[in-house]
Every structure is written in C-alpha cells, then in structure tokens.
Amino acid sequence: ESSIPINPNDIEIDPTNNDVWFTTTQNSFSGSLGGTIYRYDGTNPPVLVNSIANARRIEIEPSPTTANKWWIAAAELNSPSTFTCNLYDTVDAFANIVAITEPNDADPNIGAADFTRGQAWYDLVIESDASENLIAGGIDLFRKPSAQTTWNQISEWYNITGLTASYVHADIHSAVQRPGSPNSYIFGTDGGVFYTADITTAFNNSSAIQARNKDYNTIQFYYGAFSNAINGAAEDLVGGTQDNGTPAIYDASAGANAFTDITGGDGGYTDIDDNGNYIVTAYPGNTHYVVTPTQFYQIASGTGGNFINQAALDSNLDILYTNASTSVARIERISNFQSGAGSVVQTNLTHTDVLFNGSSPSAMKVSPYTTGSTKLFAGMVNGTLWRVDNADTTPTFNNITGGSFVGSISDIELGQTDQEIFVTMFNYGVTSIWYTANGGTTWVSKEGNLPDLPIRCVLQNPLIPQEVIIGTELGVWATADITAVSPSWVQTYNGMSDVTVVDLDVKSDNSILASTHGRGMFTSQFTSSPLSVDDPGFNETSISLVPTISDGNFELITRRALGEVQFELYDLSGKTVYNSNFRMNSNRHGFNLNLESGVYIVRIGSNGTAITKRIIIR
C-alpha cells in the first residue's frame, strides 16, 4: 500500500519505548482497504507490521504495564455491506494476533456475535487502565476486569428487560480516563457526554453513569418547524436530529429550553399543521409519521427514499409528499391520514422523462398560493427543477430548470407569488443561488460576493421582499437587495457562529427558525427596518494579524469569511516582498513566510475595500 494514500485511524504511543503505532481505516477514494497496523520509531519511515484480512477499521490499545501487549478491535467486512466487530490481543507487538472473548449485549436486537450491531465502522472503542481492566464500546458500554474472562454490561441505551445498567446514549465513540482519578471516566456518544466517578461500581447499577450535557448545545438537526398553533400560546418547536430523535417543546421561552423526544433514533423531515392538529415526523428512509394529541402512526409506505428523506406538506389539503425513489424517481402522495392509520391513501407520482426518472428528489416545496389543488416544486439531485401542477389529483410535470443550473438542488422557496422562486445548491464550485421572477422562464444568478460554499436553505423577508437570508455551511448570510445584479452578502451571526444551517422557517408573525447541524435551534424575527449593508466584517477592528511580532508564522483572523482576498506585503521602502490572492471560506488563514527581519506594511483587500496593518518580523 506504500503507493496508495491511506487514512490513519487510531494513533497510540507505546508506553515502553515511546514508539508511535497507528492503524488505518478504509479510503474509498484512494482504494486503500484499511485494516493495517504500522509502527514508527521517530527516525525511520513507518513500517507495516501486520494487517487483518477484511478489516476496514482498527482500534488498538497498549497495555500500560506489559511490554508488547496490545488489544485490538476490528471492523471486519463479512459481505459487500455487512460489518462485524472482532476483538483480539497480542503479546508480541502484533506479530501474532489471537481472538478473545467479546461482549454479549443484553439487547435482544443485537446479536451475540457483534456488540456493535454491524456498526463497527462507526462506533468502536477499546480502552485499558493501568491494571489492564478493559472497556469496550459499541451500541452500549462493557467492562472486563482483568481477573475475569467475561464482560459486564454497564450501560443501556433503552430500558432492556432483565438488565440493570445506567442509561447512556447509543453509539459509543470514546472513553477517556480522568487524570489523577483512575476509576473516573468520560464517555463520548451520539447523545453527548456521560461521566462516572467510579467505574468499578457501574455493573448492576442504574445510576453510576450520568449525562453531563447541561448547556452543551451540539444537537445536529436536519429539519425544523415551529408554530403557535398547537396551544395557541408561545412558540412550539420540533425538529428531526441525527440519532437524537425528534425533540419538541411547546410554549418555548427565550434562551435554552429542555426538549422532549417525540420519537427516538434518527429524526428527519418535520412539519406542523397550520391549524396545530398534527405534527409530521420521520425516521430514516421513506418512513414518515403523524403525531396527534392522542395518536402516533406511520403514514408513508416505508419503500424507497433517502436515509434523511425529502418531503413537503400541503397543510391546506392535508397531503404529504415524500421521496419514494428506488432505482427510479418516485414521489409518494399520502392523503386521508387524519382519518387514522387504516385510512391512509398512498399513491406514487412518476414521470417518464429521463431527467426526472433517472434522478431523485433532493428538495420539495408546496406553493401556499395555490389552495384549490397542490402545486408542488421538486428539485432533483441532477439539478433539474420540476413544477408539478395538480399533484393532488392528476399531476402534470413541467421542467422549469435554469439553463445554467449545475449541482444538486438543496432548497426551493417562493417569494410573494409562486412566480417568484429561489433555488439553492448543495455543491462547492457552482453558482449556488438562483432567482426567477417569472416562474422559471428566465433565471439569474444571485451569487454576488458569496464565498464558494454550499447553500442549504433560503428565505425572503415578507416585510421587505428585497431582503433575503440564506443558511450555509458558515451560518446565516443576508443581503439587503436581492434585486441587485450582484448582491452584497454579509454574515449575520447573532450568536450562531460558523455552523451549518440546514433549515430556515418563518411563521405568520415573521419570526424565523434556524435549525443547525451542530448547535441546536435559533430564533429571530424579520422586521420592516432595512438590513444594514455596512459590512461589519471588514474594518480595522475586525481584522487582525496574530501575532504582530513573529518569525514569519502568523495568521490573518477576521470576524467572518471574506471570500476573495488580495494580500500584499511591503517593506518600508515601498517594495512588494510578497503578494497572494486567495479565498477565505473561514475566518482564519495562516502564513509561513521567509522574510528578512524588519517592519512591514500589509495591505488586505476584499470586495473593493482595503485596509493596512503593520507587522514585525524578527
């Protein structure tokens, strides 16, 4: 594999000689299969010591006291898409590897042969303390005291019949011993951080391990919705998350709120009926549910779709449209679901055009302006955009794709009529926002000065239609005039920072919900006061060179991503000694320059504006 790029996965320091050991994981781009173990002595190139056949990921752990003794957890491929976890040990520094007893999870849905439930490629932990007591993590946590040959289960992700153990969120990713306290551990999971003061008491104990997530706001939402209709009082919020269910809160207050899960596992598309009669939730694939005050039942067929599936609700006609694509594109129309689970009607909408049939929906939007029928917009993975008239009865498909569309459509939003359409793209290296004022007859780019980054969602200010906000990989950006030929975009942090904003929603009082993939939910409000286009991210106080005295290693730090930057360095005689043009897609850019000692003037330009700074090179 020496000529093939590899992916290091786990790096460990040998406690007996300080050699570095590292393992690899599969790299689908380079063709590296992973499952290899390397040793690096700090002088010579790394040496391949051993490999495990069919392994695609390996975690290793050294014995703190016995030289050349290690434990191995390997994700091994049994078939093209099936993984299992196997545990091994070695007493001769990986020259020979021997299988050892594995944990057997008490969860009846997890087979005895694989405590990771086929997810060793994702959740896999092996750790040892100074006494060679082992900890293993997959779906749940296990501990094997050194004097035992069997494992004790010390956590459960739900209340398993017959087991007494602490609740710890499923999918264990790390176990870290507290310095100076050998029995105290912190565990990293899909549900945040968990802690035990004494792991030796964790077996047959339902409270030894506790969550430590107060004010730790890292929930990864995929979709969000809010309303005042459920109780008719304060805001009701609900959203689908990555492996943290579909949390909801009714009558939320300002600041951080405690949510309650409507459903567990992975959430997805969510919406709230305009009248507050029901909530639509999702589970992976084309698995969508209706939640009412008294009932909860599945309404989608469960066939086709994506892991985090696309959907759109016609709240006026109470019809849900979902992505039901398999090898061909299909939209599933789901009606009559308010009459109960046994009355749901599911109908597949298909189209023979290869541009539709050969792709699948990546975004959908129902027009709120057509109330006697459903006018459905469907954006596709291949970048085509379809208007489906009469989607509730006999659909007619109309291709309204822009001639220069490239990429996969991430969002479709309508302006003051359904002739005014905004379309955004997921991809890097493409024009990521398009606009039409005539229903798709002509399209214009509204990229302006945006950095090259994916746009996830878009929303128009109903009080000032020319004002538009977008959700991106770097938070929310806004323009005061979308009608400009080249709009000027600025970041609007407001406490959110550089986090992926996956969904934007607005309700009748002009409140905005921003759902993020990593920092929970944020709310704000559109107003009738024009957005200031004075760029707060480009002035003397918001751009820094750190440190100002250096050996040539320094950073340009800005309040926001600047996009295209012209960076020039002059000596005191006015001679240009360095210049570079680059794109800042984050708020930091590093330099490592070989310059003579002295004082230099730095000119930093972006979007037609420039400032100067001074640095000293020692």
What's the average model confidence in pLDDT over 539-560?
A: 82
Looking up tokens 């000027």 gives 488
**Cα 615 to Cα 293: distance, rounded to the nearest angstrom:** 64
Q: Select from 147, 146, 60, 154 the least CA-distant residue to 103.
A: 154
pLDDT tens across 567-589, in order?
Answer: 999 988 878 999 999 988 777 88
Q: What is the pLDDT of residue 1?
A: 43
**Cα 192 to Cα 30: distance, rounded to the nearest angstrom:** 32
> What sign for the dihedral angle of Cα 201, 206, 211, 214?
negative
Q: What are phi and psi of 607, to 5 degrees?
A: 55, 40
CATH of the domain at 552: 2.60.40.3080
Say if 317 falls within a structural domain: no
Higher local confidence (pLDDT), 297 or 449: 297
Number of domains composing the chain: 3
147 and 27 in a common domain? yes
**Cβ 235 vs Cβ 225: under 8 Å:** no
Helix (H, G, I), strand (E, B) or coil at 211: strand
Statement: residue 618 has pLDDT above 60: yes
Say if 374 falls within a structural domain: no
**Cα 391 to Cα 396: distance, rounded to the nearest angstrom:** 7
**Cα 577 to Cα 572: distance, rounded to the nearest angstrom:** 10
Q: What is the pLDDT of residue 544?
A: 84
605 and 467 in a common domain? no
- Locate 451 and state its tokens: 């950095």
Domain boundary among 533, 552, 569: 533
Say if 286 falls within a structural domain: no
Looking up tokens 């944020």 gives 522
Category of 495 on φ-ψ map: left (φ > 0), alpha (ψ -120 to 50) or beta: left
49 and 27 in a common domain? yes
CATH of the domain at 170: 2.130.10.10
Q: What is the pLDDT of residue 573?
A: 80
509 and 551 in a common domain? no
**Cα 47 to Cα 132: distance, rounded to the nearest angstrom:** 27
188 and 65 in a common domain? yes
113 and 164 in a common domain? yes
426 and 565 in a common domain? no
Say if 342 falls within a structural domain: no
> What sign for the dihedral angle of Cα 295, 300, 306, 310?
negative
Q: Select from 253, 259, 125 the least CA-distant residue to 194.
A: 125
470 and 418 in a common domain? yes
pTM: 0.76
Query: How many Cα atoms within 13 Å fall on the side-chain side of residue 438?
Result: 5
What's the average model confidence in pLDDT over 51-74?
A: 94
Q: Per-residue DSSP letters for 170-210? A: S-EEEEEEETTEEEEEEEEETTEEEEES-GGG-TT-SSSSE
Provide CB contacts within 8 A for 384, sequence distance 6+.
355, 356, 359, 399, 401, 405
Say if 353 falls within a structural domain: no
pLDDT tens across 199-208, in order?
Answer: 999 999 999 9
Statement: residue 538 has pLDDT above 60: no
What's the average model confidence in pLDDT over 423-435?
A: 95
Statement: residue 161 has pLDDT above 60: yes
Q: What is the pLDDT of residue 28?
A: 65
Could you list the residue range(s) of the whole structural domain that residue 491 is in?
A: 402-533
47 and 147 in a common domain? yes
Statement: residue 493 has pLDDT above 90: no
Statement: residue 603 has pLDDT above 60: yes
Say if 519 falls within a structural domain: yes
**Cα 400 to Cα 218: distance, rounded to the nearest angstrom:** 38
Query: Which H helix or E strand runs over 354?
Result: helix 354-357
Statement: residue 495 has pLDDT above 80: no
Statement: residue 27 has pLDDT above 80: no
183 and 65 in a common domain? yes
Quote the mean pLDDT of the chain.
91
Domain boundary among 180, 211, 242: 211
What's the average model confidence in pLDDT over 187-213?
A: 95
Q: What is the pLDDT of residue 300?
A: 97
Q: Select from 540, 538, 554, 551 the least CA-distant residue to 588.
A: 554
pLDDT band of residue 535 (cuts 50, 70, 90) is: very low
Determine the length of the chain: 618
Domain boundary among 181, 211, 241: 211
Statement: residue 176 has pLDDT above 90: yes
501 and 415 in a common domain? yes
Q: Provide the percentage of residues in the chain whose pLDDT is more than 70.
A: 95
Tell me the β-bridge partners of 281.
Answer: 289
Say if 258 falls within a structural domain: no
Say if 349 falls within a structural domain: no
Q: Provide the percentage of residues in the chain whose pLDDT is more than 90.
A: 70
Q: What are phi and psi of 339, to 5 degrees?
A: -85, 0
What's the average model confidence in pLDDT over 457-479?
A: 94
490-526 per-residue burial string, b: 16 or more CB within 10 A, e: under 16: bbbbeebebbbbbbbbbbeeebbbbbbbbbbbbbbeb
- Decide the pairing of beta strands 455-460 and 444-445: unpaired
574 and 515 in a common domain? no
